[in-house]
Amino acid sequence: MEARVLVGTFVHATRQEPLLVLRAHALGVARDGKIAFVVPETQLQETLQRHDWSGVSIRRLSHRQFVMPGLVDTHIHASQYSFAGTAVGLPLLEWLQRYTFNVEAKFHDLEFAGDVYTRVVRRTLKNGTTTACYFGTIHTDATLLLCDIADRAGQRAMVGKVCMDHNEAVPAYKETSDEAVRDTERFIMAVKDMKYERVHPVVTPRFALSCTRETMRALGETARGTGTRIQSHISESLEEVELVRTLFPESENYTEVYRSSGLLTDKTVMAHGVHLGEVELRLFHEAGASISHCPLSNAALCSGTMDAQAVLSHGVKLGLGTDVAGGYSASMLTAVRHAVLAAHHVGLAAHRDVKDQTLGYREAFRLATLGGSQVLGLEEVTGNLEVGKELDALLVDTEAPGSPIDIFPDDSWEDIIQKFLFLGDDRNILEVYVAGRDVTPRDEPVTSP
Ligand SMILES: Nc1nc2[nH]cnc2c(=O)[nH]1
Ligand SMILES: [Zn+2]
């Protein structure tokens, strides 16, 4: 890959600023895909000389284009993509039992798995997801196939073989405790053996209602012993919370079930956390564990509305997730919109002053980019456009052919970015880069009959 320079408008989040617009800037990408410099355009020539980059290709963006960091989906079930957009409206446990487990059971068929996984990786990339944290199914080989597909497509991915040794509703879709642990170990070894540059295994107990204590403890031990990250679900619906209480009476709360099993660590991301209380948020903070906020899923499954402000004020790392297919959209832009609206609903219910909302579109933008990278332990590598990070980025054009956005002469850059976040879609995402490499899906895949 040759070193390149982009000149134009850049938008990103930093620890200090949720949304920073750099107009008339130049960004240099080195041959290794890392950001070599970000300087005002007026300093470009001097910077090129300093880097000995004479003759490097310089590309100027148009006045309606900008570059932003790639979107980070911290929670998505790749295995549920085939039924995204259907089965909306059932409560969580019924939705799992009536639809989800039956569909996931089909992934022993590698042809079926390959088709679904190829399409979900393609769809998410097209929508600007440069990093995805995926759940597969209990099938190790199919989940390894997902790793392969993500790697070949150039997407950065965390991938988990789902573990579940308890399933009364669909007994055919579960494994023994031994299988869950042995197959997780095999999965981790196999992914490591492949030496993928940007695809990593994640220890994935489905949630406390699908796993016995024995299995959760053993998986906690596996994660610790192998230094692997952990993902699961927590406190999504009240019915689920109540059942966890009756199944694990020895634990004071849901978070404690995971903590006492060795599953609540600084490498953990738990999806949802809609009904977590003060005590539990403090446990998250103490452990350095993260939450993936999936607002569309929470609304679609009538689970409740998470208070992102409360999570952030406890100093808990927070990212956004689509939670396909609980959430019907694989687009992280949709997650951004719903995060903003969910914060409004929570604020209204609590009679908060609207001005006290911490989660406006700027903060939601940060959560969808930098926040996600923090949640997945990737902050040193990606998440924004800081020098030294790998360039995971989107080239956005608000006047692309067929664009759903109308820009007016008086629109400021902040207006334009807001319009993209609230109204834009994949038609506006012209190019997608991971580690400086163009990974934009272009050819249409062959569709199944
Ligand atoms: N939204 C959602 N919640 C879960 N809790 C346990 N499994 C699942 C799942 O597949 N989707
Ligand atoms: Zn989920």
Per-residue pLDDT of the chain (449 residues; tens, 9 = 90+): 899 999 999 999 999 999 999 999 999 999 999 999 999 999 999 999 999 999 999 999 999 999 999 999 999 999 999 999 999 989 999 999 999 999 999 999 999 999 999 999 999 999 999 999 999 999 999 999 999 999 999 999 999 999 999 999 999 999 999 999 999 999 999 999 999 999 999 999 999 999 999 999 999 999 999 999 999 999 999 999 999 999 999 999 999 999 999 999 999 999 999 999 999 999 999 999 999 999 999 999 999 999 999 999 999 999 999 999 999 999 999 999 999 999 999 999 988 887 776 699 999 999 999 999 999 999 999 999 999 999 999 999 999 999 999 999 999 999 999 999 999 999 999 999 999 999 999 976 555 55
How far is the CA of 234 from the CAs of 140, 189, 290, 381, 397, in angstroms?
A: 23, 27, 11, 27, 38
CA of 241 to the centre of ligand 1 (A): 13
Which ligand minimizes its atom distance to the CA of 76?
2
Which residue from 446, 447, 445, 448 is spatially nearest to 125, judged by alpha carbons? Answer: 445
Is the ipTM value over 0.85, yes or no?
Answer: yes
Q: What is the atom index within ligand 1 of the atom nearest the CA of 301?
A: 1
Pocket of ligand 1 (CB under 6 A): 77, 92, 96, 100, 206-207, 233, 236, 297, 323, 326
User: Whose C-alpha lies nearest to ligand 1, atom 7?
Assistant: 206
**Distance between CA atoms of residues 354 and 275, nearest Å:** 22
CA of 414 to the centre of ligand 1 (A): 36
Which ligand minimizes its atom distance to the CA of 90?
1
Q: What is the atom index within ligand 1 of the atom nearest the CA of 135?
A: 10
CA atoms within 13 A of residue 348's CA, in its CB half-sphere = 7
**Distance between CA atoms of residues 202 and 231, nearest Å:** 7
CA of 92 to the centre of ligand 1 (A): 7
How far is the CA of 296 from the CAs of 85, 136, 337, in angstroms?
A: 12, 20, 9
Q: What is the atom index within ligand 1 of the atom nearest the CA of 326?
A: 1
Q: What is the atom index within ligand 1 of the atom nearest the CA of 236?
A: 3
CA of 22 to the centre of ligand 2 (A): 35
* Gyration radius from the chain CA atoms: 22
Which ligand minimizes its atom distance to the CA of 75?
2
User: Whose C-alpha lies nearest to ligand 1, atom 5?
Assistant: 233
Residues 6+ apart with CB under 8 A from 308: 293, 318, 339, 342, 343, 346, 358, 359, 367
Q: What angle do CA 178, 181, 183 make, to 5 degrees?
A: 100
Model-level pTM greater than 0.95?
Answer: yes
Q: What is the atom index within ligand 1 of the atom nearest the CA of 207?
A: 6
The confidence score (pLDDT) of residue 449 equals 56
Which ligand minimizes its atom distance to the CA of 101?
1
CA atoms within 13 A of residue 57's CA, in its CB half-sphere = 8
User: Whose C-alpha lies nearest to ligand 1, atom 11?
Assistant: 326
Which ligand minimizes its atom distance to the CA of 269?
2
State whether the Cα torsion 12-129-436-155 is positive or negative. positive
Q: What is the atom index within ligand 1 of the atom nearest the CA of 80?
A: 10
Pocket test for ligand 1, best of 104, 233, 323 (most atoms within 8 A of CB): 233
Pocket test for ligand 1, best of 75, 80, 162, 206 (most atoms within 8 A of CB): 206
How far is the CA of 327 from the CAs of 123, 312, 346, 442, in angstroms?
A: 15, 22, 19, 25
